[in-house]
């Protein structure tokens, strides 16, 4: 069992808790944890708060070291960690992005109702399971040549759309337009390239999923209308990332960063926070490789979107266009972004690390699609496969307080091994079926690891960020059918 964190914690209000910079030598700023008063004990159950303080020690940090309510122990940064670094004087750290670079979520709308889908749900889940490869080490239908993969790394989702895997409008509704600037395949190892050639269009394993959901409740009708959402509507949530390619990029970069710290005389409280000045050759090389992995992930979700549309066309005998299968939005969870924010009254160019956190820009931001500019950025928050998910919207307070960031999901309370051990002897498929949820998975052990009890309440997480004012609930969904790795 993990040791409980026993450091100082000052209650700012019902949903914010401060770790003062006086707690530990080397902290350059305070830490802040967003958690409801009923959640804070779970947050303190392991050493994730200590990771918040470690991040506060990194050179060039501006603002506070933050953690969202879905915080739990991670590599270097906690999952749920957010931190920004001065572009000229700060660092970039692979531990602040993670191994699954641009693990993220895409939501595809339909014009179908739950009542229309329910009679064909089993057939639909079977089709999705057949058409989208899933599971550990899963491989796609086609192997990409070196030339084609290079285009994926620089053009992201656009490279797939050019090949006929999507609609021209799709990139309008993807963060960064589905292609992050600054990507350079020359900074990617041959091993990473080899791992990526066969994995475009694959779901993977772990907490990655494809989920057919129905919109259950609308909280802000005007915003929901802008997002194209209505009660009873069927939507599809796609949750996956850069697969083995991104994992290899992170692994390679960590070795580079270890030597860079010695070169630049950087000392960190945890070797997992290995970093380099953003302006250094090593920092630039990591950013360029990370951008390649981010673009790989957007391309991956793009090809999966194409397969999902094909599955719906087969099952419902109508074109995806007629079924209204437009992308609502696509957000990254694990990424470092160059952005401009106001900090203590000054406009600063910063590198925002979001690890297990979601960008949540407010209305009026020029990075948003025109269709959403008047209301704010859609934020997609997946729950566990037995409960449901949420669509939120970014707020001005998030821009002022969290560098336009919010939570990314429910957040684990049990490790995968703990969940597997506690669920032995249970039939998770039957339990979900009793709730009216059809599930298919490559591995029964994955279902045990991803059981509902392994996660915090996504409802409590979402209520915390809403009460904190850093995002607002727009709609909630409940799962109908789930495909897991």
> Which residue out of 247, 333, 353, 408 is catalytically annotated?
408
DSSP assignment of 295-338 equals HHHHHHHHHHHHHHHHHHHHHHTS-TTTTT--EEEEEESEEEEE
Question: Rounded to whole angstroms, what are the CA distances from 153 to 138, 149, 158, 354?
Answer: 20, 6, 10, 21
Helix (H, G, I), strand (E, B) or coil at 118: helix
Question: Rounded to whole angstroms, what are the CA distances from 156 to 46, 166, 183, 295, 316?
Answer: 37, 12, 10, 4, 30
Residue pair 74/48 in contact (Cβ under 8 Å)? The answer is yes
Element (H, E) at 227: helix 221-227
DSSP classification of residue 409: S
DSSP classification of residue 412: B
Residue pair 65/29 in contact (Cβ under 8 Å)? The answer is yes
Angle, CA 462 vertex, CA 460 and CA 465 arms, to 5°: 110
**β-pairing verdict for 79-86 and 91-92:** unpaired
Helix (H, G, I), strand (E, B) or coil at 292: helix
Look at the chain and count its residues.
485
Closest C-alpha to 320, from 335, 304, 338, 307: 307
* Cβ-defined contacts of 394-397 (< 8 Å, 24+): 394/359, 394/360, 394/361, 394/362, 394/363, 394/365, 394/471, 395/360, 395/362, 395/469, 395/470, 395/471, 395/472, 396/362, 396/363, 397/468, 397/469, 397/470
C-alpha–C-alpha distance, residues 253 and 195, integer Å: 16
Element (H, E) at 444: helix 444-449
Q: Is 365 a catalytic residue?
A: no
- Residue positions annotated with a catalytic role: 408
């Amino acid at each position: 069992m993990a040791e409980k964190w026993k450091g100082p914690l000052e209650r700012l209000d019902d949903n914010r808790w401060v770790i003062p910079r006086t707690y530990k030598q080397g902290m350059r700023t305070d830490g802040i944890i967003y958690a409801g008063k009923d959640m804070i004990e779970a947050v303190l159950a392991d050493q994730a708060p200590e990771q918040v303080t470690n991040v506060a020690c990194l050179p060039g940090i501006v603002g506070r070291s933050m953690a969202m309510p879905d915080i739990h122990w991670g590599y270097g940064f906690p999952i749920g960690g957010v931190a920004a670094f001065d572009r000229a004087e700060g660092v970039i750290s692979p531990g602040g992005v993670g191994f699954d670079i641009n693990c993220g979520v895409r939501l595809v709308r339909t014009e179908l109702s739950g009542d229309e889908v329910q009679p064909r749900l089993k057939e639909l889940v079977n089709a999705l399971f057949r058409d989208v490869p899933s599971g550990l080490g899963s491989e796609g239908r086609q192997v990409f040549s070196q030339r084609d993969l290079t285009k994926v790394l620089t053009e992201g989702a656009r490279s797939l759309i050019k090949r006929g895997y999507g609609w021209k409008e799709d990139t309008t509704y993807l963060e960064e337009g589905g292609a992050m600037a600054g990507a350079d395949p020359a900074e990617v190892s041959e091993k990473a390239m080899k791992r990526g050639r066969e994995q475009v269009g694959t779901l993977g394993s772990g907490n990655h999923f494809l989920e057919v959901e129905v919109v259950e409740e609308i909280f802000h009708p005007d915003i929901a209308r802008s997002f194209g959402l209505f009660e009873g509507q069927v939507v599809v949530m796609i949750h996956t990332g850069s697969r083995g390619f991104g994992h290899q990029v992170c692994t390679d970069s960590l070795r580079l960063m270890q030597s860079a710290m010695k070169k630049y005389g950087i000392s960190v409280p945890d070797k997992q926070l290995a970093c380099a000045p953003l302006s250094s050759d090593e920092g630039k090389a990591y950013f360029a490789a990370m951008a390649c992995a981010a673009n790989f992930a957007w391309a991956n979700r793009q090809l999966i979107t194409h397969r999902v549309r094909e599955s719906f066309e087969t099952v419902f005998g109508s074109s995806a266009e007629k079924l209204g299968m437009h992308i609502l939005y696509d957000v990254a969870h694990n990424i470092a972004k160059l952005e401009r924010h106001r900090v203590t009254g000054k406009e600063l160019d910063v590198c925002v690390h979001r690890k297990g956190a979601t960008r949540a820009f407010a209305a009026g931001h020029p990075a948003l699609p025109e269709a959403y500019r008047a209301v704010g950025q859609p934020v997609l928050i997946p729950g566990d496969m037995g409960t449901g998910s949420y669509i939120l919207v970014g707020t001005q307070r998030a821009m002022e307080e969290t560098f336009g960031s919010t939570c990314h999901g429910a957040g684990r309370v049990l490790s995968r091994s703990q969940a597997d051990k506690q669920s032995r002897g249970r039939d998770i498929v039957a339990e979900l079926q009793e709730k009216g949820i059809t599930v298919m998975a490559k591995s029964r052990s994955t279902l045990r690891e991803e059981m509902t009890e392994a996660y915090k309440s996504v409802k409590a997480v979402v209520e915390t960020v809403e009460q904190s004012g850093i995002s607002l609930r727009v709609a909630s969904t409940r799962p109908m059918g789930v495909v897991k790795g």
